[in-house]
Amino acid sequence: MKSLKNLLIIFLLLGFLASTVFIYYNQVLIPKRHTIESSTIVLEKINKVLKLVTVEGQFSDISKHEEYYGYNISPLRKKTLIRVNAKVLVGYDLDKVEMKIDEGAREIYIEEFPNPEIISLDDDVEYYDISEGLFVSFSKEDYTAIQKKAKKDIEEVALESGLIESAIEQKEELISMIDLTLNSIGWKLIIKDRELKD
């Protein structure tokens, strides 16, 4: 009975010692994770722009990128699923407007009003389900190429989506508003190849 009691005390002491060693190892010996972040933001250039946004489109795309070498088997294949959320702004670059002002006749003559174009495309790319083969993996260049392709795809869809047509409709309203404002102060807007109501 005494040997069983001694054995139990030894097991308790060993358990306590093992717990103490485990806690000490996890708290003191294992290095803690440290994160160091550094950033340098430099303003490289300031450009004056005169752009008018008339239409905004929100797009979402989920696409799969898969690449393999030789044979489409797991060790030679890399693939990822990506989701792209994008905001496309369509409007007019007013720097392209050729305008002449005749103060004597109180007329503003616009040679040509520009066609609508994509003013800005802001995209957010998220990667899901990234799997790489034993012999192939994604490089930084791969991720950059995937993002460029995703942006180009969104741009192509945006151009075919009716945003440009909506911007053209907005142009008519914009020109009518400018004409109405000018008429109210005694000026006239003349656009080449186009008749506006007086």
Question: Is 33 part of a structural domain of the chain?
Answer: no
Given a cut of 70, whether residue 55 has pLDDT beyond it is: yes
Q: What's the rounded Cα separation, in Å, for the pair 175 and 114?
A: 12
Question: Is 3 part of a structural domain of the chain?
Answer: no
Question: Is 98 part of a structural domain of the chain?
Answer: yes
Give the residue from 98, 114, 124 showing the smallest Cα distance to 168.
Answer: 114
Question: Is 2 part of a structural domain of the chain?
Answer: no
The answer to whether residues 87 and 56 touch, using CB atoms and an 8 Å cutoff, is: yes
Q: By residue range, what is the domain housing residue 65? A: 49-191
**For residues 33-53, average pLDDT:** 80
| Digit-coded pLDDT (tens) for 87-100 | 999 999 888 888 88
**Total domains in the fold of the chain:** 1
Give the residue from 128, 9, 119, 6 showing the smallest Cα distance to 61.
Answer: 128
- Given this model, what pLDDT does residue 57 score? 92
**For residues 190-195, average pLDDT:** 70
Q: What's the rounded Cα separation, in Å, for the pair 102 and 109?
A: 8
pLDDT band, residue 26 (cuts 50/70/90): low
Question: Is 42 part of a structural domain of the chain?
Answer: no
Q: What's the rounded Cα separation, in Å, for the pair 192 and 177?
A: 17
- Given this model, what pLDDT does residue 197 score? 42
Give the residue from 102, 98, 92, 151 showing the smallest Cα distance to 122.
Answer: 151
Question: Is 150 part of a structural domain of the chain?
Answer: yes
Give the residue from 82, 155, 156, 84 showing the smallest Cα distance to 123.
Answer: 84
- Given this model, what pLDDT does residue 196 score? 45
Question: Is 135 part of a structural domain of the chain?
Answer: yes
| Digit-coded pLDDT (tens) for 97-149 | 888 888 888 888 888 788 899 999 998 988 888 877 777 777 888 888 888 99
Question: Is 35 part of a structural domain of the chain?
Answer: no
